[in-house]
Amino acid sequence: MSDQETTQLTYVSMAYAVMFYAAAAILVVGLALRIGRFLRRPAPLRGIGGTSSARTVQAATDMVLFRGTFFSDRLQWIFSACFHFGLVVVLLRHMRYALDPDWVGPLVWKVVVLAQPFGLYGGLALMAGVAGFWARRLLVKEVREASSLGDHALLALLLAIPAVGYLNNWVHTDVVQVKEFFVGLATLKWQPLPTDALLLTHLWLVALLMVLLPFSRVLHLAGVFEKRDDTPLGFSLGRNKRRLAIAGVVAVVLLAPAAIGAAAVAEEGWTVPQPDFSKLARVHKNLDATVMIRNHPNFLMGSRSIVVYQGVRTEINRIEQCVTCHVVKGADKQPVAYDDPKHFCRECHNKAAVSIDCFECHNSKPLPPASKADLETATRFAALMSRFNERSAVR
Amino acid sequence: MSESCDVSRRGLLGAVAAFGAVSLAPGVMLYARSADEPVSAKVRWGMLVDTTQCDKDCDACVEACNTEFGLVSHGRPDSDPQWIRKLTVTDPSTGRSQSFPVMCQHCAHPPCVDVCPTGASFKRADGIVLINRHICVGCRYCEMACPYMARNFVHENLTDQKPYAPRGKGTSEACTMCVHRVDAGGTPACVEACSKSGRVAMLFGDLNDPNSEISKRVRSVNTTQIRSDLRTDPGVRYQGL
């Protein structure tokens, strides 16, 4: 890797690191101020009788199950449930970027691994919820008239984040590197971030949401501390000064990383969705490792069809060859199986909570050299054939 | 596999090398596909079992299959894997008894492929019927559809499978006609073992090649397909049945 590339990578990573620190600070401080404002304000009449425990139960059902919405607007409740419960599962899936099996222990990690497939469906539920919100805003006359441009913009943002996230799932990025970036942010040991356009876009949109949240009414989480949320509708109804402040914050925090990220993407190019896998496999020893890290799932999927359906058992297509070259020897100098944390595949897959079932059927250890001779049967075949002929002739 | 067995195999290989040049006459090596060429329908792999040569007490083919694919008993004979099995049938009116192996018959019109809901069960272009276990959901419909009871279900978690023959819990499996050997230009393990046992009751080859030994044999002697009334057109034929 040349010096120039290294600098580019570092610029993006640094810019994004600063952006996430700033966004997190804005989110935390904004949330605190919002809660403080609610707490200072005199409480309105609640209309809830009974003991404090009854009130607690009601507050809890309001928070967790959106009880109030359920009884006032059933359709809205369906969208809310889709969005919020989907969000929970999605966040659980994203825990793989924040937690590490080495710190949290196997039990918690199992939960994170278990959440992975559900997170994919949770994201769909989330998007369906947002789409419902938006449809309601567009189709219901009263709501449409009460909506501002800011409301639509926020819904668009909430839809764009998971949409780009899903695209990330399709055009693979180096998730282990992404994890190291975020763990590095938390532990103050900065790591580079993969320069993938889709990944950078996803992260930038998330940062944008983090910055906008304290200023928008999406932050009704703070309303838990006060039942009646009478904050202004979005930022569009705010005063000019507030708008200016928001614009300033957005510009400082978000525009610089966006520009640097765009420059880096322009430099390195978009990740090609479907590279030539035959070529990729043939030259992969000479390639930058990240190319193979990103594309090996697609490559394996393509190869398995070639082997199974076409019977082309060449070295580049056989998973046996993958595990033979990428063998890791254990303490006893013997190749380790996938159960061992040191196994070549296991090392990253465990870290990224991506479970694979290749080795439930395939052997995760290399072909023993002796059995290769067994496959050299062409001449034997001919000999057996002649023997059969002999016998047939005799009879 | 015992050490002595290995030694005798090497001995055989040596012998093969010695007279290989003589036996490799044109047309004997039926089909030479280069390593990166896909299989084609120009070939139809088939097998011929000569029941008159098959010994009732010999199970060399079954042993060879179990060794080749690492099929081991889990102590439950009803559900143990069995890719090839020896059958002994007796005509009650004459008392004539015959013994022969039955495995996946690699039908031209395989019922297992017809019923598979996911498309996992498929027939390769060269006639070998296989299961793409990447998409098999383990519904076992193929096991019920197969008139030859050739398919098995994996009930156990498996470890240390043969690298060339992946197998896994929750999927159907059956004889692959040793597709890994055939693709390398070899012959199935059962056929090889049968020859090695000295009986030579099994013959493997290309049914589409008129010059192949198997084609000549099926042209000249009376062979039958099991349950030919079902019109599955098996690739495995039986002589003297």
How does pLDDT run across A209-240, given as a tens digit for each residue? 988 888 777 767 655 555 444 444 444 444 56
Q: Which of A358, A375, A377, A395 to mutate to test the interface with B (most CBs of B within 10 A)?
A: A377
Q: Which of residues 295-354 of A touch B (CB under 8 A)?
A: 304, 306, 308-314, 320, 323, 337
Specify which of A43-57, A244-258, A286-300, A307-321 reaches the highest per-range mean pLDDT: A307-321
Q: Are residues A31 and A177 in the same domain?
A: yes
So what's the pLDDT on residue A251?
Answer: 75
Q: Are residues A114 and A27 in the same domain?
A: yes
Section A299-312 average pLDDT: 90
pLDDT at A340 exceeding the cut of 50? yes
**SS3 state of residue B131:** strand
Higher-scoring residue by pLDDT: A105, B7: A105
The alpha carbon of residue B54 and the mean position of all alpha carbons in its chain are separated, in whole angstroms, by: 15
Phi, psi of B172 (to 5 degrees): -80, 155
Q: Are residues A284 and A233 in the same domain?
A: no
Nearest 10 degrees: Cα torsion A258, A261, A265, A268: 170
Q: Count Cβ atoms below 10 Å from residue B148 Cβ, excluding itself.
A: 20
**SS3 state of residue A315:** coil
Q: DSSP for A97-155?
A: GT--HHHHHHHHHHHHHHHHHHHHHHHHHHHHHHHHHHHHHHHSHHHHHH--HHHHHHH
Q: Which of B5, B23, B51, B191 to mutate to test the interface with A (most CBs of A within 10 A)?
A: B23
The answer to whether residue A388 neighbours chain B at the CB level (below 8 Å) is yes
Instruction: Work out the angle at residue B47's Cα, subtended by the Cα atoms of residues B45 and B50, and round it to the nearest 5 degrees.
Output: 165
Q: Which of A375, A387, A388 to mutate to test the interface with B (most CBs of B within 10 A)?
A: A388
Section B146-173 average pLDDT: 92
Positive or negative: CA dihedral A50, A56, A59, A64 = negative
So what's the pLDDT on residue A224?
Answer: 54
Q: Are residues A31 and A113 in the same domain?
A: yes
Q: How confident is the model at residue B170 (pLDDT cuts 50, 70, 90)?
A: very high
Q: Are residues A174 and A293 in the same domain?
A: no
- Distances in Å between the alpha carbon of B175 and those of A297, B67, B149, B179, B185? 29, 13, 11, 9, 18
Residue A278's nearest CA partner among A327, A320, A315 is: A315
So what's the pLDDT on residue B19?
Answer: 37
The answer to whether residue A378 neighbours chain B at the CB level (below 8 Å) is yes
Look-up of token digits 């039926």: B30
A382·B181 Cβ contact <8 A: no
Q: Can you give the residue range of the structural domain that contains B75?
A: 3-239
Residue A244 to residue A225: CA distance in whole angstroms: 28
Listed range (A40-54, A148-162, B157-171, B180-194) with the worst mean pLDDT: A40-54
Look-up of token digits 């697609």: A298
Q: Count Cβ atoms below 10 Å from residue A258 Cβ, excluding itself.
A: 17
A383 vs B contacts (CB less than 8 Å): 15-16, 19-20, 23
Residues A267-298 as b/e (b if ≥16 CB within 10 A, e otherwise) read: ebeebeeeeebbebbeebeeeeeebebbbbeb
H or E element that contains A178: helix A175-187
Section A150-173 average pLDDT: 89
pLDDT at B92 exceeding the cut of 50? yes
B38·A366 Cβ contact <8 A: no
Summary mean pLDDT of chain A: 80
- By the 10 Å C-beta count (0-12 exposed, 13-18 middle, 19+ buried), B167 is classed as buried
So what's the pLDDT on residue A236?
Answer: 45
Nearest Cβ partner for B124 among A306, A311, A387: A311
Higher-scoring residue by pLDDT: A384, A74: A74
So what's the pLDDT on residue A394?
Answer: 55
Q: Are residues A162 and A202 in the same domain?
A: yes
pLDDT at B54 exceeding the cut of 80? yes
Residue B116 to residue B120: CA distance in whole angstroms: 7
Report the domain count for chain A. Answer: 2
So what's the pLDDT on residue B7?
Answer: 39
**pLDDT > 90: percent of chain A:** 26
Higher-scoring residue by pLDDT: A33, B221: B221
Q: How confident is the model at residue A369 (pLDDT cuts 50, 70, 90)?
A: low
Residue B232 to residue A217: CA distance in whole angstroms: 68
A362·B187 Cβ contact <8 A: no
Q: Identity (one letter) of the amino acid at B43?
A: V
Q: Are A340 and A332 in contact (CB under 8 A)?
A: no
B185 vs A contacts (CB less than 8 Å): 377-378, 381
Whichever domain contains B60, its CATH number is 3.30.70.20
Nearest Cβ partner for B16 among A304, A308, A383: A383
Instruction: Work out the angle at residue B94's Cα, subtended by the Cα atoms of residues B91 and B95, and round it to the nearest 5 degrees.
Output: 65
B161·A363 Cβ contact <8 A: yes
Residue B82's nearest CA partner among B193, B1, B172 is: B172
pLDDT at A183 exceeding the cut of 60? yes
Q: Are residues A249 and A300 in the same domain?
A: no
Higher-scoring residue by pLDDT: A256, A41: A256
So what's the pLDDT on residue B78?
Answer: 84
Those residues with Cβ within 8 angstroms of residue B206's Cβ, 6 or more apart along the chain or in another chain = B30, B31, B43, B44, B45, B46, B212, B214, B215
Q: How confident is the model at residue A127 (pLDDT cuts 50, 70, 90)?
A: very high
Number of Cβ pairs closer than 8 Å across A and B? Answer: 123
B38 vs A contacts (CB less than 8 Å): 306, 309-312
Q: How confident is the model at residue A389 (pLDDT cuts 50, 70, 90)?
A: low
Higher-scoring residue by pLDDT: A146, A19: A19
Nearest Cβ partner for A311 among B20, B28, B179: B179
Strands (E), A290-379: none
Q: Are B216 and B30 in contact (CB under 8 A)?
A: no
Report the domain count for chain B. Answer: 1
A384·B192 Cβ contact <8 A: yes
Beta bridge partners of B206: B45
pLDDT at A77 exceeding the cut of 90? yes
B217 vs A contacts (CB less than 8 Å): 392
Q: Can you give the residue range of the structural domain that contains A364?
A: 277-394
Higher-scoring residue by pLDDT: A52, A139: A139
Q: Identity (one letter) of the amino acid at A196?
A: D
Q: Are A385 and B28 in contact (CB under 8 A)?
A: yes
Q: Are residues A17 and A92 in the same domain?
A: yes
Task: Note the ipTM here.
Answer: 0.81
Nearest Cβ partner for A310 among B28, B38, B203: B38
Beta bridge partners of A335: A329
**pLDDT > 70: percent of chain A:** 79
Residue B127 to residue B40: CA distance in whole angstroms: 9
Q: Count Cβ atoms below 10 Å from residue B39 Cβ, excluding itself.
A: 21
Higher-scoring residue by pLDDT: B190, A294: B190
So what's the pLDDT on residue A192?
Answer: 87
pLDDT at B130 exceeding the cut of 50? yes
Residue A369 to residue B60: CA distance in whole angstroms: 25
Q: Are residues A166 and A53 in the same domain?
A: yes
Residue B233 to residue A162: CA distance in whole angstroms: 52
pLDDT at A250 exceeding the cut of 80? no
Q: Are residues A170 and A291 in the same domain?
A: no
pLDDT at A4 exceeding the cut of 60? no
A386·B23 Cβ contact <8 A: yes
Q: How confident is the model at residue A289 (pLDDT cuts 50, 70, 90)?
A: confident
Specify which of A46-55, A194-203, B208-217 reaches the highest per-range mean pLDDT: B208-217
So what's the pLDDT on residue A102?
Answer: 85
The per-residue pLDDT for range B101-126, each reduced to its tens digit, is 999 999 999 999 999 999 999 999 99
> On the CB side of A383, how many CA atoms lie within 13 Å of its CA?
18
A337·B183 Cβ contact <8 A: no
**SS3 state of residue B206:** strand
H or E element that contains A294: helix A289-310
B12 vs A contacts (CB less than 8 Å): 380
> What contacts 24+ positions apart, CB below 8 Å, involve B145-148?
B145/B111, B145/B112, B145/B114, B145/B115, B146/B104, B146/B111, B146/B112, B146/B174, B147/B111, B147/B227, B147/B230, B147/B232, B148/B102, B148/B104, B148/B105, B148/B226, B148/B227, B148/B234
Look-up of token digits 């076409």: A310
